[in-house]
Structure 1
Amino acid sequence: MTDRIRVLHVDDDPEITDASTSVLEQEQCGITVVAATTVADGLHRLDGNEFDCVVAGYDLPEQTGVEFLNAVRKRQPDLPFILFASEGSEAAASDAISAGVTEYLRADGGAKPYVRLAHSVVDAVERAADETEHAHNTRRERVIEELHTTARAFMRATSEDAIAQITVDAARTILNMPANAVHFADDNGLTPVTWTDQVEELIGKPPVFTPGDGLAWQAFETGETRIHDDISSNPDRYNPETDIRSEILLPLGDHGVLLIGSCEVSAFDDTDVTLARTLTVHATAALDRLDRERQLREEREFIDQALDTLDDLFYVLNADGSFRRWNRRLPEVTGYSDAEISNLEVCEFFPPEECDTIHEAIDQALNHGRTTVEAEIRTADGELVPYEFTGTRLTDTDGETVGAVGIGRNISQRRAYEQRLERQNERLDEFTSIVSHDLRNPLTIAEGNLDLARTECDSDYLDEVSDAHERMRALIDDLLTFARAGETAIDIEPVALATMVQECWQTVEADRATLAVEIDRQVRADPAKLRRLLANLLRNSVEHGSGRSESDDEQSGENTTVSVGPVEDADRHGFYVADDGPGVPPDDRERVFEEGYSTGEDGTGFGLKIVRRIADAHGWTVTVTESETGGARFEVTGLEPA
């Protein structure tokens, strides 16, 4: 302590001040004594310098030592003051103690009074330092406790403006920093949002700091707290005419800054800066929380909006089967309000006889990961609507099952379509029964009678009857094939195209035709139906590929080359069957698929119609165009690779 002690000794007796200077500076190394002979001179020196202790006589020229003590206390309340009286009395001592003097000593009392004075000065300064430190610690503890209370207020704040107001109020009332303001970052720069009355008294309304503008922007841009003991000489200060001298500039993350100012030089110590930083840490955390909550709210609103655009039902179930979340379609379909849905169990949306099925489906999703079930929703009005529900297990971050998420799709149209198909298939079965039995039986009788007639007579007319029978049997076979080509039962499996083409070629009467297979791939198809489709296309190419006259049976397929290859472009996947014959005129390319269309006397007009019907049953597309040699090229596309 002694190397920092500066003593002001005020007394009109030079012998006393000289003696104190000599003894104090000799006995206590490092003590410096500044002497003054009058009260006015003493006050003047006190105002212009820093002292650790004041020593004064009692009988001074202008006033008593006690009156001088009162004047010092008004300037520096905590400065140690020792009354060193050359002549004293009990009354003088009582007045001094009542006035709050640090210590009262007699200059003529006891041995070595100046040595006692030196010790008293050191003791007084040390006690004052301890009391100051204790006061700082007490203030720090009190402020930290109050800042914790403010932290709770920050966490309850629901807007940035509220957080700014809490920050400004806490800096003013808790930190005792009355001149402060909060600026938030926006498109314009750092815009003031909240400030104290003292700020407005000093500078008016706080300015907007644009990028690169002033010391405030430097603190915000670097993210570092800036402390300026005297900004009057700083070339980067925003306003050269300001009365503010000291500043603490504290960033609030990327949200803005807290500015604290004072008209005094070096007004803020390390404790002030630490406490101010603590305040901004709480404020920044609260602002970050609001940002996260806003982002989560916007993300949830986006997800809700996306889910609400679905025509299907979307739902999330808790593990106990209660609804946790749903989209707008659920109340629209069921007729229940959101409040009612939140209090209903899943089973209450279905008829009693469906409840076991629904519970089993939920258990399947929760325990095995996924389920699909069909059931009828019972609306608030009692209407039953068929739906297909899917459910998938939902887990938390630890992998624990917390519920299920799923989609409900209205299958009313599918049910109606299936019922129509069922009725159509029933009628189709009746039709095929008639064709296969009621027409074939009379034809068989007619063919038998024709054979008997040939034994009794020989006539060219009988050959014409035989040809008519053969055409009738071909028509019956094609009619059955055509009817069955569109049946809904499609048994899909991988099929090797090249192998099936070779097999179909063996059934085609093509002794004078050549097959070129240029494809080697597997596709997913119904083997029986694909075989019929390929056989019809190959037969069509052989029969029409040579460009012969229909009456010239001897030339059937002569010199015809039929090729089968892949169709591969950006939008289509499939195969083609092409020949080198005369081709199909552009105007007839769609008509060839019409029922009954044929260019030959022996054709039934069902061959290509059957091809298209089989393609439709698979979801494929069949078209006809021109081959590279000018013949016909049939393309079947939309196939799925195996």
Structure 2
Amino acid sequence: MVFIGIVNTEPRRRRSVLVLSGNPGDAADVADTLHAFDASAASIGDAAPSAPGDDDIATADIAVVLDAEGLDAVRDRGGSFRVVAFVDDPVAPPATDPLVDAIATTPADLDATLRWLVRREESTLDHANERLRAERDRLLALFSNVPDPAIAYDYVDGDPIVHRVNDAFEETFGYDADRVVGESVDDYIVPTTDEAASEAADLNERLQRGESVRREVTRETAEGPRHFILHVVPIRLDAENVSGYAIYTDVTERREHEAALERQNERLDEFASIVSHDLRNPLSVAEGYVDLARETGETEYLEKATEALGRMDELVGDLLSLARQGESVGETQSVSISALARDAWESVDTDDAELVFDGDVTIDANPTRTRELLENVFRNSAEHGRQSPDGSGGDALTVHVGAVSFRGADGGSESGFFVEDDGCGLPTDECDRVFESGFTTEENGTGLGLAITERIADAHGWDVRALTGDSGGARFEFRTS
């Protein structure tokens, strides 16, 4: 944020000259000769009716002293005035005092000296104003060209009112300067949550106390929330403040990358756990049966080893599927859930189970990944749905697929699809765990099928939930829009 002083371009006033002397008559005579200035005379002494006060001297531009008494009157006084000694003898003590800026010995000399001092100060002022204008232009150019969004603000009744924004702010936040200047920046970019409001209130208190603040924040733009490193600096540090500037460095992509890495690390941990535990068990079983076959010559042990190796192959396939899950599903297109469900059903060993359609819904999805999602749900129903509570096989299974509607957060309607079987259902106290990697209720299950299902749904941006259906079986609902 840039704050620029205003240069006064109004016509300059006549310079004020105060003539000081211990002799009132001498002071008055000299003051009368200074027609080009606002001159006044003051005598020194407690009894003098025109004795100068602090205000008289402090407001003078130039003090003319005629003697030692006049010089003593300005000594140790505050003010930015110049001191001219008007004396007969230039080497007399009042004229040679370090306080004296110039010496005049005749009325004409005094007049010329005063004019010279005035011209010099005006020239100095002109140069100072020129430097101020140049500095203002430089700072304005710097503020406008900062690559990160920046705002200048003034606190009014405790609210940070926008004084100026740069082009980067308009581009990143999507608000034109005309819209936000004069308004509280908090009303536009602070999220409407209690946590964000509390954070903003704390930030405002600290800035008004003169503290500099740097922190990571979430701020609303016209197109949604983004993450920023916020660096806010008040105009005066360690003092009460009403003004300052804030710079927002967008770190949204970095945050998303860090979150993706964190999820990737979590998947690696899952893989390591499954490889070290689940794969080791069938491998040990296979090795044991091979040893028995070698010792006894009985080939039936090799069949058992083959079953264990088949389980390992299934685990490896599921692990590879999990490893392929990412934040992107590739190209999507408009697809029919009924058509994808028929293809997926044919790829799963469903034995005598029946597939029934309760309507159809068209969604935007990646056909290959969505078919894989349906295959895993069907396989879960086929493997777990037939079991009766005692673990034995139950009646023939029916699996329903169809459209479903949801109530949106704004009260509107959202759509999706469901898969529901009429089997034994999900564990009533573990519905929330069915999507965890490795969670299974079957001794020989991998516990990865529904985890893969959730990953594919997440990659599409869908919400998935598991619940008990109307018939008591497992029901999976996918909110796609």
Establish whether TM, by shorter chain, passes 0.5: no
Which has the higher relative contact order, 1 or 2, with Cα contacts under 8 A spaced 6 or more apart?
2
Shorter-normalised TM-score: what interval? Answer: 0.3 to 0.5
Q: Write 1 or 2 for the structure with the bigger share of helix.
A: 1
Normalised TM-score (structure 1): 0.33
- Larger-gyration structure (1/2): 1
Normalised TM-score (structure 2): 0.43
